Structure 1
Amino acid sequence: MKGLYFIEPIVAIYAFASFMVYPLVQQYVYRRLWLEITNTSYPASENNTHCAPNSSDYTSQQEEVQKAASLFSMYSDLSSMIPSLIMTLLLVAYSDQRGRKITIVMPLIGSLIYTVSFLTISYFELNLYLLIAASFVSALFGGIGTMLGGCFSYVADLCEDDKQKTLRMAVVDMMIGMLAGVASISTGYFLHAAGFNWPFFTSALFQAINLLYATFILEETRVIDRSETMACCRALQKLGCSIFSLFAEGSQQKKKVLLLLIFTFSSLSFVNIGGLSMVTLYELKEPLCWSEILIGYGSAASTSIFITSFVGLYLFSRCLSNTAIVFIGMLSIAGSMLLTAFAKTTILMFLVRVPAMFAIMPFPVLRSMMSKVVSNSEQGALFACVAFTESLSSNVAATVFSRLYAATVAWCPGFVFLLGASLCIIPMSLLGILKCNHSLDSNDSHALLSEDGTEASDDPVVA
C-alpha cells in the first residue's frame, strides 16, 4: 500500500492524547499525596471549588501536600532531563541518514510507554514513585521537542516554496493549540465523571493508533541511500563538528548575533516553561481550590494563546519589525505572570490569560531570525543546537521553579510568578543589546553570510 505524506493527523492526535494526560498528572499526584500525608480522602465537591472554609488544619495540610507535589514534580523532571537531551541530539543527528520518521516514531513509543505506565499505576494503585521511573524510560525515546522537531523537518522536506512551508508550519502550530484546548476541556469532565483510569486508557488508545499510522502509513520524505549511511556515533560526531564550526568559524558579528539570539531564546523559554509548570498546583491551592472541570477550562484557555499568538504574529508582521514583535511577546509573558502572582479569585485567574495572548509570538520569530543568520548548509546544525538548548532550559526551569515553589508556598505562593516576571528582564535586555548593536535588516543579513563566503538566504531578516 502506498504511504501518505500527511503529518497533520499525527500532530493532531498527539496533541489531543498528550493534553488529555498533562492536566491529569499533577492532579493525580496531588490526590495520591493528599491521601498518603493526611490519611483522609481528597475533598471532592460538586461545586467548582473544594476549599474548606476557616480551617487552619486544612490549610497546613494543604501546604504540606503542595510542597510534596512540587518536589515530586522536580524529581520527575530531573529523571527525564539527561536522557531526553541525549536522545534529542542522537535522533536529530541520525535523521539526516535514516530519514525523518525515526524522530517521530521513537517519541511516540516513549509517550505510549509513559501513558500505559500511568494507567497501570492508577488502576492497580501501585507506588507513586514508579512514575519517576516511567518518566526516565520514556525519555530514552526522546521527548516532545524531538517529536515536534521531526514533524517540522518532515514539513520542510515536503515544501520547496518558502511561503508554502511557512503556511503549513503555521497550520501545524494552530492544530497543536486547538486540539490541546479541546482535550483540556474534555479531560475535566471525563475525570469528574469516570475518574483517572478512563482518561488514561483513552489517551493510550489514541497514542497507539498514532504510532501505527506513523509506522505503517506515513511515507518517508528522505530517500535513504544505504551506501551513504553512517554509524550513529559517527553521525553524532559529524553533528558536533558542525555545531562547533557554527560558532568557531565566520565573522565576529555573525557569531555575536547568533549567540545573542540563542541566549535570548533560551532565557525566555526558561521563564515561560518555569511559570507554566506551576500553574496547576497554584490553582489547586487556597484560595482558588479549583476542581478538575475548572482546571480543564483553565488549561484550554492557556492553549488558546497558540491561536491568538498566530493571529497577532500575522497582523503585527505587516507593520512591525521582528524585534518589536518579540518584545511585545516578552511583555505578554511578564504581564501574565505578574497578574498570576496576585490572582486570588476564579475570575481573575481566568483573566490572567488575556495578557498572555501573545506569549507564543517570540519563539517562531526568534527561530526565523536565527535561521536567516546562517547559510543553508548550516541549518541542521543550528536547529539541533536550538533543540538541545530549548530542552535543557525547559527541564532546568521546571526543576528550579518546582523547588522554589516548595520552599515559598507557605508564605508566598505567587513568589515563583513574581520571579518569572522579573527574570523577563534578561531576554529583554539581550534583545535590546541585539537591536542597538546589530541591526538585522535585509542588507546586514546578507553581509553576515557573505563575509563567510557562503550564499545568503533568499528571505531577508526584517527587524
Structure 2
Amino acid sequence: MAVVRSLRQYVEPVVFGAQMACSFFDTGLQMVVKQRSENATSPSDPHEDQNAIANFYMIFNMLTDFIPILPALILARIGDRGYRKVPIVVPLVGYSLSRALLLLVIWLEWRIEVMYVAPVIYGLCGGFSSYWAGVIALVSVSTSEEQRSLRIMRIELVYGIAGFLGSLASGHLFQLYTVGMKQGVLLASMSVALYVFCLLYATCVLQVSRITLERRESTSSGIITHNRQDRTIIALLFISGILYDVAVAGGVQILSVYVLNAPLEWSASEVGYGNAAGFLIFITSFLGMKFFTRFAVSDTSMIMIGMVSFMTGIYFMTFVTTTAMYFLARSVMLFALIPMPTIRSLLSKQVQGTSYGMTFICLQVSFTLASVATAPIYTKIYESTLDTYPGFVFTLSSIITFLSILPISVVGCRAAKQENYERIQGN
C-alpha cells in the first residue's frame, strides 16, 4: 500500500500514456493528409500535393498555437491557487475529444479539412501549453532546487521513450486493417483509448501532496527574496528559449513535410521510424545531462551544448537526400533536448513557488505566439525554395539557433559573477 500511495504522486504514467497516444495520432494524421492530398491533386503537377500538405500543416499548426492562449492562462491561474491537477486534466479532456475526430474522418471518409476542428477543441481546453506547463509546475513544487533540472529532464525522458515506442509501432499499426475496418482506424482508436486512460488516471489516481506543496513553496519563497531582483536573467532566459523554440519548431514542422516528398518519399513505416529517431533524442539528452551533472557542468553550459548539437544536426539536414543521411543528421542532435528543461529549471529558481504555473505558461505562450508568427514564414520559404534549395529552411533554423546561444552566454557570465559575490560575502 505504501508503494501504491507513492506511485499516486507521480505524473509519469500520464506523460507516458499521453505521448504514446500523441505519437499514434501524429503518424495517423500525416498519412491521412498525404493520402487525401494525393487523391485531390492532379498528377500532372508534382508540386501541387506538396504545397497542399504544407498549407494544411501551416493552418493546423497556427490553430494549434493560437487558440489555447487565453484558456491556458486561466487554467494556470487556477493551478497556482492550489488546484495543480486542473491544468493537466482539462487539456486531456480536449485531447480525448479531438483525437476521436481523426477516427471519424478515417471511418466516415470525411474531408481532411474537418481536422481543423481538432486544434479548436483541444485549444479551448488549454492544449499542450496548459498540459505541459501544468506537468512542469507540479514537478517543480515537489522537487528540491538541487534535483529539479534532472527531475524535469526525467519527465522529458519518459516523454521521449513513450514517443519512441509509439512512433515505432504507429506506422505498422496504421497499415493494419480488415475488410470491415479501414486503414488507420485501429491506430486512431488506440490513440483515443490511451488519452481516456490518462484522463481517468489524472482525475482519479494522481494526487498532489499538500504538505509537500506547502513545504516547497515556503522554501522557494525564502530563496526568491535573494534572486528575484535580477529580472535581466529572466528576460534573457525567455529570449533564448523563444529563439530556440522557433528554430526547433520551424525546422521540425517542415521536416514532417520534407520526408513525405521527393527525394525521400517515405511510407507509413518509414514515417514511424523517422518519428522514433526524433524521440530517441530524449533518451540521449537525458543520459547526456546525467553525464554532465556528474562532472559539475553548469546549467548554462549544458544549455549551450544542447543548442550546438541541434544547430549542427539541423544544418546537416539541409543536404539530406537519402534516408541514411537523414538518420545520420538526426544522430548529431543527440543533446538537442537538454536546453528546454534546463531553461525551465533556471526560471523556477527565479520565481516563487506560487508563481510556477503562470511563469511556465507565460513561457509556453511566448513559444506559441512566436510559432504563430513564424509557421507561415517557414512554410512560404519552403514553398518558394522547393525547386532551387528545398533545405534552406534548415539552414535558417541553424542560424536562429546560433542567435539563441548569445543570451544564454550572458546568463552564464552573470551567474558566474553572482556566485563570486556570494563566496566573498560568505567568507
- Please give the range of the TM-score, normalised by the shorter of the 2 chains: 0.7 to 0.9
Q: 2:161 aligns with which of 171, 178, 189?
A: 178
2:328 aligned partner: 351
Q: Residue 365 of structure 2 corresponds to which residue in structure 1?
A: 388
* Equivalence for 2:278: 302
Partners of 2:409 and 2:201 lie apart in 1 by 45
Change (3 A) 1:84 1:403: farther
Q: Tell me how far 1:120 sits from its aligned partner.
A: 0.6
| Cα deviation digits, residues 240-290 of structure 1 (max 9, x gap) | xxxxxx9xx975xx2222211110111011101111112121111111111
The separation in 2 between residues aligned to 1:264 and 1:140, in whole angstroms, is 28
Equivalent in the alignment of 2:292: 316
Q: For residues 9 and 362 of structure 2, what CA distance do their matches in structure 1 show? A: 27
Q: 1:72 pairs with 45, 48, 56, which one?
A: 56
Distance 1:432 1:164 in 2: 23
* Cα 1:391/1:258, change in 2 over 3 Å: same
Question: Is 2:279 the partner of 1:326?
Answer: no
Code of the aligned partner of 2:13:
P
Q: How far did residue 382 of structure 1 move?
A: 2.8
Q: How far does the alpha carbon of each residue in 1:402-440 deviate from its partner, in whole angstroms, 9 at most, with x for none?
A: 33323322332211111111222211232334445x244
Percent of residue pairs bearing the same amino acid type: 26
CA change 1:165–1:434 in 2 (3 A) is closer
| Corresponding position of 2:350 | 373
TM superposition score normalised by structure 1: 0.79
Q: Secondary structure at the match of 1:424?
A: helix
For residues 284-337 of structure 1, give each alpha carbon's deviation from its aligned partner in whole angstroms, at most 9, with x where no partner exists: 111111111111111111101111111111212324333322222111111111
Change (3 A) 1:250 1:432: closer
Instruction: Identify the residue that residue 50 of structure 1 maps to in structure 2.
Output: none
Q: Residue 196 in 1 paired to residue 184 in 2?
A: yes
Deviation at 1:348, TM superposition (A): 0.6
1:376 Cα deviation from its structure 2 partner: 5.0
Are residue 416 (structure 1) and residue 393 (structure 2) matched? yes
Could you list the per-position Cα deviations for residues 325-368 of structure 1 after superposition, in whole angstroms to 9, with x for gaps in the alignment?
Answer: 22221111111111111010111111111110010111122222
Query: What are the within-5 Å matches in structure 2 for residues 185-334 of structure 1?
Result: 185-194=168-177, 195-222=183-210, 251=229, 254-317=230-293, 318-334=295-311
Tell me if the contact between 2:20 and 2:165 (Cα under 8 Å) persists in the aligned partners: yes
Q: Is the 8 A contact 2:316 2:329 kept in 1?
A: yes
Q: Which residue of 2 aligns with 1:21?
A: 25
In the alignment, is the contact (CA less than 8 A) between 2:176 and 2:184 conserved in 1?
A: no
- What does the per-residue CA deviation read over 1:118-155, in whole Å, with 9 as the maximum and x for residues that have no partner? 11111111122111122112210012232122223233
CA offset digits 1:146-181 (Å, max 9, x no partner): 21222232333444x445655543432211111110
Distance in 2 (alpha carbons) for counterparts of 1:405 and 1:356: 22
Residue 72 of structure 2 aligns to which amino acid in structure 1? T
Task: Provide the rounded CA distance (Å) in 2 between the counterparts of 1:9 and 1:110.
Answer: 18
Q: 1:221: Cα distance to partner? A: 4.1
2:220 equivalent in structure 1: none
The Cα of 1:377 is off from its aligned counterpart by 5.7
Provide the aligned C-alpha RMSD in A.
2.7
Q: Distance in 2 between matches of 1:266 and 1:8?
A: 26
The structure that is helix-richer by fraction is 2
In structure 2, how many angstroms separate the alpha carbons of the residues matched to 1:270 and 1:166? 22
Q: Contact 1:157 / 1:221 at 8 angstroms: preserved in 2?
A: no
Counterparts of 2:412 and 2:207, CA distance in 1: 43
- Which of 88, 103, 112 lines up with 2:96 in the alignment? 112
Structure 2 equivalent of residue 86 of structure 1? 70
After the TM superposition, which residues 334-345 of structure 1 pair with which residues of structure 2 at under 5 Å, given as runs? Answer: 334-345=311-322
Taking a change above 3 Å as real, the CA distance of residues 15 and 444 of structure 1, as seen in their structure-2 partners, is: farther
What is the CA–CA distance in structure 2 between the aligned matches of 1:151 and 1:401, rounded to whole Å? 29
State the distance in 1 between where 2:313 and 2:63 align: 29
- After TM superposition, the structure 1 = structure 2 runs for residues 72-151 of structure 1, keeping only pairs within 5 Å, are 72-97=56-81, 99-151=83-135
What is the CA–CA distance in structure 2 between the aligned matches of 1:257 and 1:165, rounded to whole Å? 18
Q: Secondary structure at the match of 2:24?
A: helix
1:442 is displaced (CA, Å) by: 5.4
SS of 1:391's equivalent?
Answer: helix
1:359-405 per-residue CA deviation (whole Å, 9 max, x = no partner) reads: 01111222222333345565444323222213333444444323332
Is the CA contact (8 Å cut-off) linking 2:301 and 2:412 kept in structure 1?
Answer: no
CA 1:222–1:339 in structure 2 vs 1: closer, same or farther (change >3 Å)? Answer: same
- Structure 2 unaligned residues grouped into runs of 5+: 178-182, 212-223
Q: Counterpart in 1 of 2:10?
A: 6
Is the CA contact (8 Å cut-off) linking 1:67 and 1:407 kept in structure 2? no
Aligned to 2:34: 30
**Residue identity in the other structure for 1:35:** N
Cα distance between partner residues in 2 of 1:155 and 1:8: 10
Q: Structure 1: 5+ residue runs without aligned partners?
A: 41-56, 224-245, 451-463
2: CA distance between counterparts of 1:364 and 1:384? 14
Secondary structure of the 1:314 match is helix
Q: Of residues 428, 431, 438 in structure 1, which corresponds to 2:408?
A: 431
| TM-score, structure 2 normalization | 0.86
Aligned in 2, Cα 1:439/1:5: closer, same or farther, shift over 3 Å? Answer: closer
SS at match of 2:388: coil
